[in-house]
Amino acid sequence: MPIQPSPIFSYFRVGRLLYGALLLFIIESWVYGIQLKNAINLESTPWTLFWAWSFLFSFIHIYLVIMDGWSRYQNYKRAKDQFFIHGFNEKIALFYIGSKCQRMAAETAAEELGINDQIQQYYRNFGIKWYHYIPYFMIKEPFFLFKKLFWSRTFLERFYEPKFDYRAMTKSQSV
């Protein structure tokens, strides 16, 4: 088994796209907040409403991105345990195929276990391309926002306690 990174490093690797988006939403919120303050000072109701809506949109996304990143980290921990116990398994990989972020969680777990080539080949054989960022369920189900499964699986994934201490295992192998 390869040397295991710290959990914090894995956390940020799993959600690297999300945390890039988080930075953009923070910057947007700051810019929109300045514009909103200017519109309020000018007493311009249409612009105040426009900038208030823009600010709220980007500010709410800060929370959503943080929760999505936390949920993807739970996926990563679960996938890592599953791959460690069963080795590469198509059923496990298929469970995480729904979105780019879920695939990144599974790929990060597989990479840390030394089976990254297998999962990437599986996703390529399945027709997944590097630019497939939009989750497939959004295309299949346009009313996904009204589904409980979307909210629970995207932002409210339950805490997962890993079954193994991989860092301790690699330390004992090197001794």
pLDDT tens digit string along 124-165?
A: 999 998 888 888 778 888 888 888 888 888 888 899 999 999
pLDDT tens digit string along 61-90?
A: 999 999 999 999 999 999 999 999 999 999
pLDDT at 122: 96
Q: Which long-range contacts (CB under 8 A, 24 or more apart) does 65-68 make?
A: 65/18, 65/19, 65/21, 65/22, 65/25, 66/22, 67/154, 67/155, 67/156, 68/15, 68/18, 68/101, 68/154, 68/155
pLDDT above 90 (res 35): yes
The model's pTM? 0.87
Of 84, 92, 105, 104, give the one whose Cα is nearest residue 169: 84
Sequence letter at residue 78? R
% of residues, the chain, pLDDT over 70? 99
pLDDT at 116: 94
pLDDT above 90 (res 42): yes
% of residues, the chain, pLDDT over 90? 75
pLDDT above 70 (res 175): no
pLDDT at 59: 96
- Helix runs in 42-161, H state only: 45-86, 90-95, 100-113, 116-125, 136-140, 148-154
pLDDT above 70 (res 174): no
pLDDT at 135: 81
- Is 30 or 153 the better-scoring residue by pLDDT? 30
pLDDT at 112: 97
